[in-house]
C-alpha cells in the first residue's frame, strides 16, 4: 500500500468524521450571519481552524473591518505554532526548503497533527510526506463537505446541536492529549479541566490562554518534582 493511501485510510477511520461533523456546525453558523457558501468554504480551507473560523463569523456579524477580522482569525490560530515546531523536524530534509514548510503549516490542523505524531515517527523518511498529504487530503475533504452540507441544512439544525458540533473537535483533541503517555501531559489536562471553568467565571476573554499557561507550567514543575523524588529514592 502506498504511503499516501495509508495516510488517507488512517484519517478516514475517525478524524474525517470529527472534522466533517464539526464543520457542519460551522457551515450552519456561517449561513446564520448571511455569509455566502463560497466565503464559508474559503474560510474552512484558508483559516483551517475552528476557533479562527468562529472568530471570523462573530466579527463579521458585528460589522468589524476586514483587516481586524484577518488579525483576529490569525491570532486565534496562533496555538498551532508550538505544535508545528514539534512536527516540522519529522519532515526536515533541507533547511532551505521554505516552500515545503509553508505547505505543511497550512495543511496542519489538530486532527492532522494527532495522526502525524502517532504514525509518522515510525515511518521511513521517504514515506512521511506522502502519508501526511494523504491524511491532509481526507481531512480537508471532510471539512469542505461538512461546511457545504451544514450551510444548506442550517434551517433544519437547532442551535444547541450546531454549538455541540462546533465543540466536538476540541473535545476530541482533549482525549487525544489525555491518551499521551507523558506524565506532564496528563497532569496538564487534569489541572486544566478543573481550572478552566473557574477562570472562565472570572475572566471569560482570557480563560483559555490563562488556563493553558497555568496548567502547563504547574504540570511541568510537578513532573520535575516527581522525577527528583524518584532519583532521590533510587540513590
61: number of Cβ within 10 Å: 13
Please report the pLDDT score of residue 70 as a whole number.
86
* Residue 220 structural domain: 180-235
> What residues contact residue 83 under an 8 Å CB cut-off, 6+ apart?
108, 110, 113
| Orientation of helix 98-107 relative to helix 80-87, angle to 10° | 130
- 143/216 same-domain check: no
Identify the domain boundary among 172, 193, 216. 172
Please report the pLDDT score of residue 6 as a whole number.
94
Identify the domain boundary among 148, 172, 196. 172
- 36/137 same-domain check: yes
| Number of structural domains in the chain | 2
Q: How far apart are CA 131 and CA 169, in angstroms?
A: 22
- 70/131 same-domain check: yes
> What residues contact residue 118 under an 8 Å CB cut-off, 6+ apart?
none
- 57/125 same-domain check: yes
- 54/153 same-domain check: yes
Please report the pLDDT score of residue 176 as a whole number.
62
- 123/214 same-domain check: no
Please report the pLDDT score of residue 177 as a whole number.
61
Identify the domain boundary among 172, 192, 207. 172
What is the Cβ-side half-sphere exposure of residue 160, based on CA atoms within 13 angstroms? 0
- 153/225 same-domain check: no
Please report the pLDDT score of residue 152 as a whole number.
92
- 214/111 same-domain check: no
Please report the pLDDT score of residue 145 as a whole number.
96
Please report the pLDDT score of residue 133 as a whole number.
94
- 9/124 same-domain check: yes
Please report the pLDDT score of residue 40 as a whole number.
92
Joined together, the cell numbers standing for residue 128 give 512521511
Q: What is the 3-state secondary structure (H, E, C) of the chain?
A: CCHHHHHHHHHHHCHHHHHHHHHHHHHHHHHHCCCCHHHHHHHHHHHCCHHHHHHHHHHHHCCCCHHHHHHHHHHHHHHHHHHHHHHHHHHCCCCCCHHHHHHHHHHCCHHHHHHHHHHHHHCCHHHHHHHHHHHHHHHHHHHHHHHHHHHHCHHHCCHHHHHHHHCHHHHHHHHHHHCCCCHHHHHHHHHHHHHHHHHHHHCHHHHHHHHHHHHHHHHHHHHHHHHHHHHHHHC
Spell out, as residue ranges, where the chain has pLDDT lower than 70: 93-96, 169-182, 235
- 192/130 same-domain check: no
| Orientation of helix 168-178 relative to helix 15-32, angle to 10° | 150
- 200/84 same-domain check: no
| Cβ contact 53:43 at 8 Å | yes
Please report the pLDDT score of residue 232 as a whole number.
81
- 54/141 same-domain check: yes
Amino acid at each position: 500500500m502506498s504511503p499516501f493511501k495509508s495516510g488517507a485510510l488512517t484519517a478516514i477511520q475517525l478524524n474525517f468524521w470529527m472534522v466533517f461533523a464539526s464543520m457542519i456546525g460551522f457551515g450552519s453558523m456561517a449561513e446564520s450571519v448571511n455569509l455566502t457558501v463560497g466565503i464559508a468554504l474559503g474560510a474552512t480551507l484558508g483559516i483551517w481552524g475552528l476557533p479562527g473560523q468562529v472568530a471570523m463569523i462573530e466579527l463579521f456579524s458585528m460589522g468589524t473591518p476586514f483587516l481586524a477580522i484577518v488579525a483576529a482569525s490569525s491570532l486565534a490560530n496562533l496555538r498551532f505554532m508550538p505544535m508545528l515546531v514539534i512536527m516540522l523536524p519529522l519532515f526536515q530534509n533541507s533547511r532551505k526548503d521554505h516552500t515545503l514548510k509553508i505547505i505543511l503549516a497550512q495543511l496542519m490542523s489538530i486532527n492532522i497533527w494527532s495522526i502525524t505524531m502517532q504514525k509518522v515517527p515510525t515511518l521511513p523518511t521517504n514515506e512521511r510526506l506522502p502519508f501526511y498529504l494523504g491524511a491532509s487530503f481526507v481531512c480537508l475533504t471532510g471539512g469542505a463537505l461538512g461546511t457545504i452540507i451544514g450551510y444548506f441544512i442550517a434551517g433544519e439544525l437547532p442551535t444547541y446541536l450546531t454549538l455541540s458540533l462546533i465543540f466536538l473537535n476540541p473535545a476530541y483533541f482533549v482525549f487525544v492529549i489525555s491518551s499521551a503517555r507523558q506524565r506532564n501531559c496528563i497532569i496538564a489536562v487534569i489541572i486544566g479541566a478543573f481550572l478552566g471553568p473557574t477562570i472562565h467565571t472570572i475572566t471569560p476573554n482570557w480563560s483559555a490562554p490563562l488556563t493553558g499557561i497555568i496548567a502547563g507550567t504547574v504540570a511541568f514543575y510537578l513532573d520535575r518534582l516527581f522525577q527528583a523524588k524518584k532519583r532521590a529514592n533510587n540513590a
